[in-house]
Structure formats: C-alpha cells, structure tokens
Amino acid sequence: FISAEFVGIPQGLRQRIRLRRQKDSSAIFSGIIHKNEYYDATLCNPPFHASAQAAGEGNARKRRNLGTGDGPALNFGGQQHELWCDGGEAAFIRRMIAESTRFARQARWFTSLVSRGENLPVIMRALQEAGAARVEKVQMAQGNKQSRFIAWSFTRAGKTPAAQAR
C-alpha cells in the first residue's frame, strides 16, 4: 500500500523504510513487529475521541473556534475511524503500553502523542504498573495548541534491546 506521508520522502530514504498495515484492529504491535526485529523507536498518533459522536462534536467545536463555521467537513486528513476508539485516547494508550511489554526487548523507545493532559495520570500509572524502566514526557506547543508526547523504555541507560540481552 502507499501512504500519503511516504510520498514526499526522498528515494534514498524510502528504500530504508518499510510500511506495514495493521490488519488486526484489536492489536497494535502484534503482527507488525516480527521476531528478531529491533527498532530504535515506535511512534503513535492515537485516536483521541471515545466515540464517533464525540469526534463530530470535537470537530464542530474546533471549526467554531477557528472561525470556519459548523460545516460537516473534518479538519483532519485521515479516515474517520482514526479519530476515535472505545475509551478514547487514554484507553488506546493503556492498551499500547500493555502490548509494548511483549515487545520490550525489540524496541528501545515506545512513544505516543498525548493530546489531553488530563489523561496523563492514568497513562503514567499504567507505565509504572507495566515496569517501564524510563519514562519521558515532552511538552509541545504550536500556536494555541498545547500537547505532549510520552516515551517509555524497558531498557536501561540508552542500551539497545540487543545489547541489554547480552
């Protein structure tokens, strides 16, 4: 498959990138990270609404705040199902954290955008319960939009998973 994000990448770099489509909607890493593969980082921009209705309401509110009216058009370039999942952002990231424990020796860092700051306490608790060795929270701001991403690792002091296994 071809991803829109892949189109503008220089040819030399494209040859070093492999895109995989997740076919199992209940999985995040299973079926994507294969045996004997190691990654420096995984990146995630999770769905942040808890329902299709909440996604629609959030879009209408954002369009009003931007002064673009209440039209039905989404100010989002992805698919509708990428905007929401049962339980919203916190539930998705908690599921991601739980699944990341099974791939702890195959990725140095797991990362996710966290759009809603009020979700941080439950996410940080999930990371502690999962046994993350290192957790970083990085604040970001663009215009009036405040967000952050979290990064967690099951490895110590920057060692790669392969080096730590020795």
**What does the domain layout of the chain look like in residue ranges?**
18-50+87-166, 51-84
Q: Tell me, what's the pLDDT at 84?
A: 63
Among 29, 27, 164, which residue's Cα sits nearest to residue 110?
A: 29
- Answer whether CATH 3.20.20.150 is correct for domain 18-50+87-166: no
Q: Tell me, what's the pLDDT at 1?
A: 47
Q: Where are the beta strands (DSSP E) in 22-106?
A: 39-42
User: What is the distance between the alpha carbons of residues 156 and 133, in angstroms, rounded to a whole number?
Assistant: 6
The Cα-based distances of 144 to 66, 140, 141 in angstroms read 11, 11, 7
Q: Tell me, what's the pLDDT at 25?
A: 84
Q: Is 88 left (phi over 0), alpha (psi -120 to 50) or beta?
A: left
Instruction: Give strand pairing partners of 147.
Output: 140
Q: Tell me, what's the pLDDT at 33?
A: 96
Provide CB contacts within 8 A for 115, sequence distance 6+: 48, 89, 147
Residue with tokens 């705040």: 65
Q: DSSP 3-state assignment of 136?
A: strand
List the chain pLDDT tens, one digit each, 166 residues: 455 566 677 878 877 777 788 889 889 999 999 999 999 999 998 887 665 666 566 556 666 666 765 555 555 555 666 676 788 899 999 999 999 999 999 999 999 999 889 999 999 999 999 999 999 999 998 888 888 999 999 998 656 555 555 4
Amino acid at 78: G
User: What is the distance between the alpha carbons of residues 92 and 116, in angstroms, rounded to a whole number?
Assistant: 13
